[in-house]
């Protein structure tokens, strides 16, 4: 395998493709091998369909096709290629890690930076060991700055992703109870975030630090720009209905009002992280103010959707004990102008919690007990033993087979605003689609 030859071919192509069904003419097809698929099975078809080049780990294919490169490990090679391309471009890259809020921070940063620079950002869920290299290989010579999300779910992965990206600035949004099964508990989450801190220290990077993240409170690197309630960059929540509005302060001086299209005061940390980046890069905060007004969450991430007399907060892309508790707490305080409104919640499964799965789901039920809701619907067997503890609580074994029942309960209780919260496996978006009809 000659990485220089592959890189020359990549530059001569129309970009890379790892899915033969999505192949466009002139692209470089990359045969990735996964648990349930082998991209090598589609190399010949890709070449016949217009791939200019292909990369495979089957030597016999490279022997037959002159535009086919052989490498023993196509995943490792695409990671190496991505780093080579990143070095060739030499642009500043901001890497975002952490438990919750990565995507919101990423999008707010993108909407801010694109007003000043030609900016590229991680698309969709291209944030893992394959997605990050694809993100870097999407960069063109016209791009001046990039924002890359790091979606680690086990120890050691942040380190690998950072070595691929070689960022200039790192952000750790927070330390929460995410991917506990893969990380090996909350201690593993802390260790994963420390991989980012240690990388920043080793390579003398700037760390945009959440000073309110207790798990990393006493860790330092040579270059830190801190934000949080006790930091030089801090904020006051001046509005929370229907969206979050913040007064931003720096060194105790009011700098700007940022009006967002975000639900929940916990999003203040994502906004403050963007303020810190702007300060570091010398960007006027007026661009962040513009971004706050322009960026509307999508893809079932804290979306506020109006359906006639019913307001829906759809937050069902990811869920872990930390984000679940934050969303429920915020929703319990979410009223128009202090008025009492009939409120309901539909709660889904929290995935990847490991051996303590039952405990964490029981704790969520106990937390809901302390809130006042007119309707609580649990939609997973993980809640079956605890759901009866909640006032106005109903247990359904899943959402998919009980859409009509959920709609009936919403109507019977005259619910005016409802929160959907759960992991993607719960498929709560199916209920939303039924509500829209």
Answer yes or no: is pLDDT of 1 > 80.
no
Domain termination site, one of 40, 75, 110: 75
**Residue 356 and residue 289 share a domain:** no
Q: For position 422, what pLDDT does the model report?
A: 96
Same domain (yes/no): 237, 359: no
Identify whether residues 70 and 99 lie together within a single domain: no
- Indicate whether 19 and 36 sit together in one domain: yes
pLDDT at residue number 115: 98
Same domain, residue pair 10 and 122: no
Q: How many domains does the chain have?
A: 3
Pick the most confident of 27-31, 385-389, 394-398. 27-31
Residues 233, 127 within the same domain: yes
CA gap 111, 105 in Å, rounded: 10
State residue 338's pLDDT score: 65
What are 337-358's pLDDT values in tens digits?
667 889 999 999 999 999 999 9
Would the pLDDT of 386 be above 90?
no
Angstrom distance (rounded) from CA 172 to CA 210: 7
> Is residue 35 one of the residues assigned to a domain?
yes
pLDDT one-digit tens code per residue, 50-103: 999 999 999 999 999 999 999 999 999 999 999 999 999 999 999 999 999 999
Do 176 and 276 fall within a single domain?
Answer: yes
241 and 342 together in one domain: no
Q: Are 274 and 108 in contact (CB under 8 A)?
A: yes
Q: What is the mean pLDDT of residues 104-120?
A: 98
pLDDT of residue 337: 65
Evaluate whether residue 82 is within a structural domain.
Answer: no
User: What pLDDT was estimated at residue 336?
Assistant: 73
Q: Where are the beta strands (DSSP E) in 201-309?
A: 206-210, 223-227, 233-239, 245-250, 253-259, 303-307
pLDDT of 326 above 80: yes
Q: What is the pLDDT of residues 206-218, one digit of tens each?
A: 999 999 999 998 9
Same domain membership, residue 288 and residue 160: yes
Give the CATH number of the domain where residue 137 resides. Answer: 3.40.1190.10
- Residue 354 inside a domain? The answer is yes
Structure confidence by residue, pLDDT tens digits, 403-420: 999 999 999 999 999 999
Beta bridge pairs of residue 93? 146
Residue 406 belongs to some domain of the structure: yes
Residue 232's pLDDT band (boundaries 50, 70, 90)?
very high
Q: Are residues 322 and 180 in the same domain?
A: no
Using CA atoms, how far residue 335 sits from 181, 264, 303, 332, in Å, is 36, 12, 16, 8
Q: Out of 73-77, 147-151, 167-171, 330-334, which region has the weakest mean confidence (pLDDT)? A: 330-334
Span of 302-311, 317-326, 329-338 with lowest mean pLDDT: 329-338
- For residue 95, the cross-strand partners are 148, 170
Spatial separation of the C-alpha atoms in residues 132 and 402, rounded to whole Å: 38
The Cα 236–Cα 257 span in angstroms is 10
> Are 281 and 344 in the same domain?
no
- Tell whether 52 and 122 lie within a shared domain: no
Residue 85 lies in a domain: no
Q: Is the pLDDT of residue 223 over 90?
A: yes
The CA-atom distances, in angstroms, between 41 and each of 38, 44, 75, 242, 391 are 6, 8, 16, 51, 55
**Residue numbers of the domain that contains 128:** 90-294
Q: Give domain status of residue 275, yes or no.
A: yes
Torsion over CA: 190, 87, 85, 31 (sign): negative
Q: How far apart are CA 226 and CA 224, in angstroms?
A: 6
Name the DSSP letter for residue 241: S
Question: Among 75, 104, 130, where does a domain finish?
Answer: 75
State the Cα torsion 313-350-152-266 to the nearest 10°: 40
CATH of the domain at 360: 3.90.190.20
On the question of pLDDT at 300 being above 70, the answer is: yes
Residue 358 lies in a domain: yes
Burial grade of 372 (CB within 10 A; 0-12, 13-18, 19 or more): exposed
CA distances 281 to 146, 166, 250, 268, 339, Å, are 13, 18, 15, 20, 42
Q: Tell me the whole-structure pTM to 2 decimals.
A: 0.95
Residue 214 lies in a domain: yes
Residue 388 pLDDT: 82
Whether residue 370 is predicted with pLDDT greater than 70 in this model: the reply is yes
Show which of 294, 317, 338 is a domain's final residue.
294
Give one word for 72, left, alpha or beta, with left for phi > 0 and alpha for psi -120 to 50: alpha
CATH number of the domain to which 44 belongs: 3.40.1390.10
CB 171, CB 227: distance < 8 Å:
no
Closest CA to 328 of 274, 384, 369: 369
């Amino acid at each position: 395998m000659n990485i220089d030859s592959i890189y020359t071919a990549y530059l001569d192509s129309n970009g890379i493709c790892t899915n033969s069904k999505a192949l466009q003419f002139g692209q470089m097809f990359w045969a990735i091998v996964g648990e349930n698929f082998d991209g090598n099975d589609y190399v010949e078809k890709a070449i016949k369909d217009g791939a200019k080049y292909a990369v495979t780990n089957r030597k016999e294919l490279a022997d037959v096709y002159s535009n086919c490169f052989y490498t023993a490990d196509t995943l490792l090679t695409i990671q190496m290629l991505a780093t080579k391309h990143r070095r060739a471009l030499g642009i500043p890259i901001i890497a975002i890690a952490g438990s919750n809020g990565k995507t919101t921070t990423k999008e707010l940063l993108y909407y801010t930076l694109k007003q000043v620079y030609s900016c590229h950002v991680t698309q969709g869920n291209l944030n893992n060991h394959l997605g990050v290299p694809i993100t870097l290989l999407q960069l063109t010579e016209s791009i001046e700055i990039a924002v890359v999300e790091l979606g680690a779910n086990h120890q050691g992965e942040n380190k690998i992703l950072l070595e691929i990206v070689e960022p200039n600035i790192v952000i750790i949004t927070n330390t929460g109870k995410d991917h506990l099964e893969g990380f090996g508990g909350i201690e593993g989450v802390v260790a994963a975030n420390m991989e980012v801190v240690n990388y920043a220290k080793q390579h003398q990077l700037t760390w945009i630090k959440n000073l309110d993240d207790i798990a990393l409170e006493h860790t330092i690197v040579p270059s830190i720009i801190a934000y949080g309630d006790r930091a030089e960059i801090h904020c006051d929540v001046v509005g929370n209905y229907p969206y979050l509005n913040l007064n931003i302060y720096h060194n105790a001086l009011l700098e700007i009002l940022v009006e967002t299209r975000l639900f929940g005061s916990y999003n203040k940390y994502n906004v403050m992280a963007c303020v810190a980046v702007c300060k570091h890069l010398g960007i006027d905060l007026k661009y962040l103010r513009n971004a706050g007004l322009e960026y509307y969450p999508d893809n079932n991430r804290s979306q506020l959707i109006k359906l006639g007399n019913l307001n829906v907060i759809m937050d069902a892309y990811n869920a872990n004990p930390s984000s679940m508790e934050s969303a429920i707490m915020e929703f319990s305080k979410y009223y128009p102008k202090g008025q009492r409104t009939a409120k309901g919640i539909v709660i889904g499964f929290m995935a990847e919690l490991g051996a303590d799965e039952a405990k964490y789901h029981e704790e969520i039920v106990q937390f809901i007990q302390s809130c006042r809701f007119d309707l609580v619907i649990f939609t997973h067997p993980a809640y079956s033993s605890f759901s009866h503890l909640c006032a106005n609580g109903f247990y359904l074994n899943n959402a998919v087979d009980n859409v009509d029942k959920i709609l009936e309960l919403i109507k019977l209780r005259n619910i005016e605003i409802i929160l959907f919260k759960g992991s993607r496996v719960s498929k709560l978006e199916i209920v939303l689609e039924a509500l829209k009809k």
